[in-house]
């Protein structure tokens, strides 16, 4: 092997290649620094005396599936000028680490496309080593996230563990980056975010969120000039929750067993979009049977489907007309749950119609949430909260779903 190959293939320069050996299914390269390149680490003088040597092994880039070990003959030198005695440092590795910088970069590149346990298994390396490298990379590139270019963002809370543990996240809707995480949910979780946002000088145009009074109050207090947008996902989710409550109420009040059996197991049929119903499994026919037998439930279902069309209107004027009609029909139904929902939507009238001025939403958050749920299924998400937070900041770089359980 030539010295130039050491540099171009393994990132090792200014060292002499000594020999290659093969043992245990791996490849070993022995190298040493030329005598004329030895320098004093204290004053930089080339006038040094050799005071012994030792072998130091480093993990290098693999060749195919074969692990590579780089063994350096490390010299102990004494400086004739300042009389300092020290071990010659390895230029291709950091400190006391037992892997080359090029190996560290390779681990990071793989971890952006694979789970950490998969990277560790592929390289036959320790999972803690992969985690350490990933954490350093994330901290160097993303912590703290830059807010200066933030213009539109979404706020939402996510469940991060058992026992109703929540985390509030802020997502940059233009780049898909998570730019803030806060423990818990509600306005208190955003306490540290607002001063950072103000210092950044960011000009916020609009904020997408659910209809949480705490979030609304926090945004109006800290960003009085920004537009608040309630997006389709949370509104339809609220409607689905009301429909589920209506189904349970009807099921509880029914006395006829046959009618109860028709409603049994019908929750997901009512929540599914009609285009997603499986005709071959008879889901459409079952849904029609349910709606025919229960007029209030049928009314709630059709009101839900009509509400979905709010975001499909050609312009704001048409949306206003459509929403006014929906609110009137909901109140005319005399169904308590629908009347209550109509009152809720009317109170949030401006935020609903703001979608036609700034069509943003938390839809991107749902894709992010899927990745977060995959992260939380791995043990390290709970053992090391700081690392979990760093993972969230780099989540937009992930190209594959992070699956599997960490060792």
Q: Are residues 198 and 236 in the same domain?
A: no
- Is 393 a domain residue? no
The H-or-E segment that residue 36 falls in is none
Q: Are residues 299 and 314 in the same domain?
A: yes
Reported as a single tens digit per residue, the pLDDT across 272-309 is 777 777 787 777 777 787 777 788 888 888 999 999 99
Spatial distance between the Cα atoms of 10 and 63, rounded to a whole number of angstroms: 10
Handedness of CA 297, 302, 303, 305 (dihedral sign): positive
- Is 126 a domain residue? no
Q: Which residues pair with 32 in a beta bridge?
A: 16, 73
CA 384 to the chain's CA centroid: 16
CA 277 to the chain's CA centroid: 30
pLDDT at 176: 84
Annotate 279-345 with three-state secondary structure.
Answer: CCCCHHHHHHHHHHHCHHHHHHHHHHHHHHHHHHCCCHHHHHHHHHHHHHHHHHCCCHHHHHHHHHH
Spatial distance between the Cα atoms of 373 and 136, rounded to a whole number of angstroms: 23
Give the angle subtended at the CA of 274 by the CAs of 269 and 276, to the nearest 5°: 80
Reported as a single tens digit per residue, the pLDDT across 77-130 is 999 999 999 999 998 999 889 999 999 999 999 988 888 888 999 998 988 899
- Is 335 a domain residue? yes
Regarding beta strands 16-23 and 152-161, do their DSSP bridges make them parallel or antiparallel, or are they unpaired? unpaired
CB-CB contact of 148 with 175 (8 Å): no
Q: Are residues 243 and 346 in the same domain?
A: yes
Q: Are residues 238 and 182 in the same domain?
A: no
The H-or-E segment that residue 377 falls in is none
Q: How many domains does the chain have?
A: 3
Spatial distance between the Cα atoms of 366 and 369, rounded to a whole number of angstroms: 5
Regarding beta strands 16-23 and 227-230, do their DSSP bridges make them parallel or antiparallel, or are they unpaired? unpaired
How many angstroms separate the Cα of 192 from the Cα of each of 38, 170, 189, 222?
A: 51, 12, 8, 12
Q: Are residues 300 and 208 in the same domain?
A: no
pTM higher than 0.85? no
Q: Are residues 304 and 220 in the same domain?
A: no
- Is 38 a domain residue? yes
**Which of 80, 95, 92, 99 shows the shortest CA–CA distance to 39?**
80
Q: Are residues 248 and 344 in the same domain?
A: yes
Q: Are residues 350 and 259 in the same domain?
A: yes
How many angstroms separate the Cα of 247 from the Cα of each of 261, 281, 291, 304?
A: 13, 22, 11, 13
pLDDT at 297: 85
CB-CB contact of 338 with 330 (8 Å): yes
Q: Are residues 202 and 265 in the same domain?
A: no
Reported as a single tens digit per residue, the pLDDT across 110-120 is 988 888 888 99
pLDDT at 323: 95
Q: Are residues 274 and 187 in the same domain?
A: no
Spatial distance between the Cα atoms of 289 and 218, rounded to a whole number of angstroms: 46
* Range(s) of the domain holding residue 94: 1-98
- Is 4 a domain residue? yes
Q: Are residues 295 and 219 in the same domain?
A: no
Spatial distance between the Cα atoms of 140 and 161, rounded to a whole number of angstroms: 27
Counting every residue, how long is the chain? Answer: 407
User: Strand, coil or helix: what is 123?
Assistant: helix
- Is 124 a domain residue? no
pLDDT at 262: 66
**232 Cβ contact partners less than 8 Å away, ≥ 6 residues apart:** 308, 310, 311, 355, 361, 363
- Is 289 a domain residue? yes
Q: Are residues 335 and 259 in the same domain?
A: yes
pLDDT at 367: 67
CA atoms within 13 A on the CB side of 289: 14
Q: What is the mean pLDDT of the chain?
A: 85
Q: Residue 1: which pLDDT band, with cuts at 50, 70 and 90?
A: low
């Amino acid at each position: 092997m030539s010295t130039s190959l050491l540099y171009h293939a393994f990132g090792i320069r200014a060292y002499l290649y000594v020999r290659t050996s093969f043992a245990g299914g791996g490849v070993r390269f022995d190298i040493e620094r030329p005598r004329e390149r030895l320098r004093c680490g204290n004053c930089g003088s080339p006038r040094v005396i050799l005071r012994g040597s030792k072998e130091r092994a480093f993990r290098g880039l693999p060749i195919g599936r074969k692990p590579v070990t780089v063994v350096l003959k490390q010299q102990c030198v004494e400086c004739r000028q300042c009389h300092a005695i020290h071990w010659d440092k390895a230029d291709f590795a950091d400190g006391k680490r037992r892997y080359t910088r090029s190996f560290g970069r390779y681990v990071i590149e793989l971890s952006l496309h694979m789970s950490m346990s998969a990277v560790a298994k592929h390289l036959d390396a320790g999972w803690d080593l992969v985690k350490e490298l990933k954490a350093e990379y994330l901290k160097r590139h993303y912590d703290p996230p830059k807010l200066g270019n933030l213009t539109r963002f979404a706020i939402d809370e996510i469940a991060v563990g058992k026992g109703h543990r929540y985390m509030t996240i802020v997502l940059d809707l233009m780049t898909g980056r998570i730019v803030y995480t806060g423990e818990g949910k509600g306005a208190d979780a955003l306490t540290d975010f607002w001063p950072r946002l103000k210092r950044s000088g960011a000009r916020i145009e609009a904020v997408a969120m659910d209809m949480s009074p705490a979030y609304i109050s926090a945004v109006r207090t800290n960003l009085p000039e920004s537009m608040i947008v309630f997006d389709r996902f949370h509104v339809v989710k609220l409607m689905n929750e009301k429909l589920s409550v209506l189904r349970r109420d009807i099921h509880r009040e029914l006395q006829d067993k046959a009618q109860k059996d028709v409603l049994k197991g019908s929750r997901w049929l009512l929540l599914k979009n009609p285009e997603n119903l499986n005709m071959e499994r008879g889901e459409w026919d079952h849904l029609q049977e349910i709606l025919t037998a229960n007029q209030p439930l049928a009314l709630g279902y059709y009101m839900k489907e009509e509400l979905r069309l709010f975001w499909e209107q050609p312009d704001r004027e048409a949306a206003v007309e459509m929403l006014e009609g929906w609110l009137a029909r909901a109140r005319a139904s005399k169904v308590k749950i629908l009347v209550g929902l109509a009152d809720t939507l009317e109170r949030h009238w401006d935020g609903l119609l703001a979608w036609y001025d700034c069509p943003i939403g938390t839809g991107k958050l749902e894709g992010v949430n899927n990745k977060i749920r995959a992260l939380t299924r791995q043990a390290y998400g709970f053992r090391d909260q700081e690392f979990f937070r760093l993972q969230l900041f780099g989540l937009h770089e992930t190209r594959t779903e992070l699956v599997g359980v960490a060792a």
